[in-house]
Homo-oligomer: A and B are copies of this chain.
């Protein structure tokens, strides 16, 4: 009869091999090990989830007749929806948009931007404006640190939750 160490070995062997299943039957014992089909099968959930991350991919789960017919003729779609916020690195904070609207980096077209890469911010520093329904919503940093990346473009439609700035805390 197989011992626990034998089984451990078998698991490791199967794991490292390209095999997907192992069955042993003896007079006094049956053992069956199975492995998920590594890559070939994308489970639907993963496929669906995979839809979100890359911007503009949200409409790609099912091809639209138009898209299939004229893949290149699409008239400049606006920025795709924001994927789920990227994994937070330690010490880095991402400022996201609290509403859907137009993103403006400055209070007026000819004014300098509120912040830029390298700017120091505190909780109350206004970092941008998101315009919704003709209302200019000043967005505050809500953290203390240094802007290390601007993630949205001036005048762009930003979604709820879309990352706008990355800030190194401190």
User: Which residues in A have some Cβ–Cβ distance to B below 8 Å?
Assistant: 1-2, 4, 6-15, 17-46, 49, 87, 89
24 A-B pairs (CB sep. < 8 Å): A4-B9, A7-B22, A8-B13, A11-B13, A11-B14, A11-B19, A14-B17, A15-B17, A15-B18, A20-B34, A20-B36, A22-B32, A23-B33, A23-B87, A24-B29, A25-B29, A25-B87, A25-B89, A26-B30, A36-B37, A38-B46, A43-B43, A43-B44, A44-B44
Do the beta carbons of A26 and B1 come within 8 Å of each other? yes
- Which residue of the partner chain, among B18, B29, B36, B49, contacts A43 with CB atoms under 8 Å? B36
Known: A8-B9, A12-B17, A17-B12. A31 touches B39 (CB 8 A): no
How many copies of this chain does one complex carry? 2
With a cutoff of 8 Å between Cβ atoms, the chain B residues found around residue A2 in the complex are 4
- How many angstroms between the C-alpha atoms of A9 and B9 in the bound complex? 12
Do the beta carbons of A41 and B35 come within 8 Å of each other? no
Known: A38-B46, A43-B42, A46-B41. A21 touches B25 (CB 8 A): no
Known: A15-B18, A18-B35. A30 touches B41 (CB 8 A): no
With a cutoff of 8 Å between Cβ atoms, the chain B residues found around residue A45 in the complex are 37, 39-41
